[in-house]
C-alpha cells in the first residue's frame, strides 16, 4: 500500500515508528530538468547554470542520504530527469562511497542499452541513462540494495584458526565469502571475516 504524505522528507525521522515497515523508497528529487525536451525548448537550449546544478546536486545528495538512513529500507531507487552527470553519476558515486558498508548498487533494467557514464563513475554501467537523442526525454535511474545481515548460531567452539565465537553474532554477506564448516549440526555457513 502507498500512502501519500505531504511533508518535507528531510524532516521525517527514520526512527519514527510510523515508518518502521518502509522497505522501498523512490527518491525522485528536484532536478534541472535538462532531459526534458519541453524544458529545453522553453529555455532555448541555454547552457547549464553551474551554480544551480551545484545547489540541486547538494539537495539530491541530502535526500538520497536520508533515504538510505531508514533502518527498514531494503531498496532505494534514485531517479532524475536530468542528463547532467553532476546530478546523476556524481550523486550516486558519492552516496555509494559514503554508504558502502550497508548498501550496494545493482544493475537496473538489464536489457536497457544506454547505461551511465563510466568515465565519470566506474559503476555507472549498473545505472540507466536516456538522452533526448534517443527520441525521448532524458532520465537517469540507479538502484541501491541493502546488503544482507544474517545471524548465524554457533556453539562456543574453537575454529577459524583459534577464533572463539560466542552465541550469536552478525555477519555481512558481501561479494567475498568464506565457506566455513562449523559443526555437523550447523553445516556450511557463508560468512565474511573482518
User: How far apart are the C-alpha atoms of 61 and 53, rounded to whole Å?
Assistant: 12
User: How far apart are the C-alpha atoms of 90 and 94, rounded to whole Å?
Assistant: 6
Question: For 81, phi and psi rounded to 5 degrees?
Answer: -110, 40
Question: For 125, phi and psi rounded to 5 degrees?
Answer: -65, -10
> Which residue in 31, 81, 90, 143 is the catalytic one?
81
Rg (Cα) of the chain, in Å, rounded? Answer: 21
Active site residue 130: no
Q: Specify the length of the chain in residues.
A: 194
Catalytic residue numbers read 81
Amino acid at each position: 500500500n502507498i500512502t501519500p504524505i505531504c511533508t518535507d522528507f528531510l524532516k521525517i525521522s527514520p526512527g519514527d515508528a510510523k515508518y518502521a515497515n518502509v522497505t522501498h523508497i523512490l527518491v525522485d528529487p528536484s532536478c534541472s530538468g535538462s532531459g526534458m525536451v519541453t524544458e529545453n525548448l522553453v529555455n532555448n537550449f541555454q547552457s547549464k547554470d553551474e551554480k544551480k546544478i551545484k545547489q540541486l546536486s547538494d539537495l539530491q545528495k541530502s535526500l538520497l542520504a536520508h533515504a538510505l538512513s531508514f533502518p527498514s529500507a531494503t531498496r532505494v531507487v534514485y531517479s532524475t530527469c536530468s542528463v547532467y552527470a553532476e546530478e546523476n553519476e556524481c550523486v550516486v558515486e558519492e552516496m555509494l562511497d559514503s554508504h558502502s558498508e550497508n548498501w550496494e548498487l545493482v544493475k537496473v533494467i538489464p536489457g536497457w542499452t544506454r547505461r551511465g557514464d563510466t568515465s565519470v563513475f566506474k559503476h555507472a554501467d549498473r545505472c540507466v541513462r536516456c538522452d533526448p537523442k534517443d527520441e525521448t526525454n532524458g532520465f537517469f535511474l540507479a538502484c541501491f540494495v541493502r546488503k544482507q545481515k544474517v545471524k548465524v548460531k554457533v556453539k562456543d567452539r574453537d575454529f577459524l584458526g583459534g577464533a572463539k565465537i560466542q552465541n550469536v553474532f552478525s555477519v555481512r554477506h558481501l561479494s567475498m565469502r568464506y565457506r566455513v564448516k562449523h559443526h555437523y549440526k550447523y553445516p556450511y555457513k557463508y560468512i565474511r571475516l573482518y
